[in-house]
Amino acid sequence: MVVDCKESRYFFDVIISTIKGEHVPEPPEMDWDKFVDTVVEQQFVSLVAQALENKPFVPEKIAERLSQFKNNEFLRIISVQNEFNEIKSMLVENNARFMLLKGSVIRNYYPKQSFRQMSDIDLLCDYENNNAICDYMLSRGYTMLSDGGGNTDDFTKEPYFTFEFHHDLFKDVYGFCPDFSFVWDNAKLKDESGFEYEMSVEDVYLHSVAHMYKHFILGGFGVKFIVDTYLLASKNESDWNRAYIDEKLESMNLGDFEKRVRKASFDFFENNLSASQQEFFQKAFRYGTFMNDENFANVEEILNNYQNDNGSSAFKYLLSRIFPSKTQIKSMYPVLNEKPYLLPLYYVKRIFKRFATGPKKVAKEMKYLTKSNKSKE
């Protein structure tokens, strides 16, 4: 794979070979600390640590660092699972239907569940008993991060527990707020409790694509979404109802976006990226996420949707881009779920990042916003 950074190129190679069950190649001469920093930032520590375990070409200090990361992640997974079991019992006792979302479901498609890191546990719940849920979480020492004013009740507790109880899957983001109420119609009971459900495979994929698009219009998405898309599609495409998926995607205006992302994910794993795709992937490692560029969407379409749905001015849209809501910025920087006191710092970081990493895109967006305002005068 041709990528201009040796560390990121090798990171790609490790992911691809491990996911496909192939031999992990030896690395080029590279900065190992930079490589590990990339792995940590993209949240693939557990996969890479296991893939490179006992490999003679890995420097001793790097092997120790990766091993420590891996051991900490295993401990976290066990602790979070035990905590979830307690919360699950509470939900059943309160007759609250629920289903796991996002990484908790998608990790089952990875060769090993531990390969798929998660920053929190997301659940979709019936909200008739939300007061009981809130009281229970507070009684277990959790701090409430949001009170359902958006679409979730979020709770966190040291050292690494974060649970998000969704009553809707999406909150409006620049006019994007798809209705996913249909997931309950297609869900199946998962166990004998009578209250834990699981999404259909088609709805898991639809939710993943929509969730990716939400991150996309908030600023970008990471490698994890590309890997998720590849695994969901490659393991399900022969069995799922593609006509149903296409119908839902079109109703959400996500048909073209899904096609591009799905193609990029397969090209990534087949080492068949075009020049424009390679440039797109290079940005991921220069900026930390895949930035949304004109190859995937354009600001005019997003702004028009935002104005049509909200009756808002271009200036208000611009302010929302510079200073997104707390919920939105926490989705960009999951560390804020555990350390909310860093919020002001991350607002500043986002501003500098936007202007430092994508000046042409910012200029293009400003040009269209100015044009939009003048056309309304």
DSSP string for 298-318: -HHHHHHHHHHHH---HHHHH
Residue 133, amino acid = I
Helix, coil or strand: residue 214: helix
* The two three-digit tokens of residue 338, written as one number: 């555990």
Per-residue model confidence as pLDDT tens digits over 339-352 = 677 777 766 766 66
Q: Between residues 189 and 374, which one has the greater pLDDT?
A: 189
Three-state secondary structure call for residue 80: helix
What pLDDT is recorded for position 149?
A: 59
- 3-state SS track over 318-333: HHHHHCCCHHHHHHHC
Of 21, 23, 37, which is closest to residue 11 (Cα–Cα)? 37
Model confidence over 88-117: pLDDT tens digits?
A: 999 999 999 999 999 999 999 999 999 998
| Model pLDDT, residue 110 | 97
Region 13-42: mean pLDDT is 93
The residue written with tokens 């930390």 in the block is: 288
Q: How confident is the model at residue 118 (pLDDT cuts 50, 70, 90)?
A: confident
**Cα–Cα distance, 328 to 218 (Å, whole number):** 7
Residue 154's nearest CA partner among 107, 121, 197, 132 is 121
Q: Which residues pair with 162 in a beta bridge?
A: 156
Stronger pLDDT, 19 or 315, i.e. the higher one: 19
Which tens digits make up the pLDDT trace of 66-85? 999 889 888 988 999 999 99
| pLDDT value at residue 326 | 64
Largest alpha-carbon pair distance within the chain?
67
User: Two tokens at 81?
Assistant: 């699972």
DSSP annotation of 173 reads B
Residue scoring higher pLDDT (224 or 215) = 224
Candidates 52, 53, 66, 43; CA nearest to 116 is 43
Nearest to 357 by CA among 226, 220, 243: 220
**88-97, 122-131, 147-156: which has the highest mean pLDDT?**
88-97
Query: 152-157 and 161-166: which strand pairing?
Result: antiparallel
209-227 burial string, b = 16+ CB within 10 Å, else e?
bbbbbbbbbbbbbbbbbbb
Q: Tokens for 57, please give them.
A: 């070409």
Q: For residues 44 and 341, give the distance between their C-alpha atoms in angstroms, rounded to a whole number.
A: 26
185-194 tens-digit pLDDT? 999 999 888 8
What does the DSSP 8-state code read for residue 293?
-
What percent of the chain is modeled with pLDDT above 70?
A: 72
Averaged pLDDT for residues 136-146: 91
Question: What per-residue confidence (pLDDT) applies to 295?
Answer: 43
pLDDT band at 306 (very low <50, low <70, confident <90, very high): very low
- Residue 147's DSSP bridge partners are 153
The answer to whether the CB of 52 falls within 8 A of the CB of 160 is: no
Q: Is the pLDDT of residue 337 over 60?
A: yes
pLDDT of residue 305: 47
pTM: 0.77
Report whether 251 contacts 242 (CB < 8 A): no
Q: Return the pLDDT at 333.
A: 60
Sign of the dihedral defined by the CA atoms of residues 338, 358, 259, 17, in that order: negative
Helices (H) and strands (E) in the chain, counts: 18, 9
Does residue 222 contact residue 289 with C-beta atoms inside 8 Å? yes
Confidence check: pLDDT of 205 > 70: yes
- 65 or 327: whose pLDDT is higher? 65
Check residue 1 and give its pLDDT.
Answer: 45
User: Which pLDDT belongs to residue 162?
Assistant: 93
Q: What is the pLDDT of residues 158-178, one digit of tens each?
A: 888 999 999 889 887 667 889
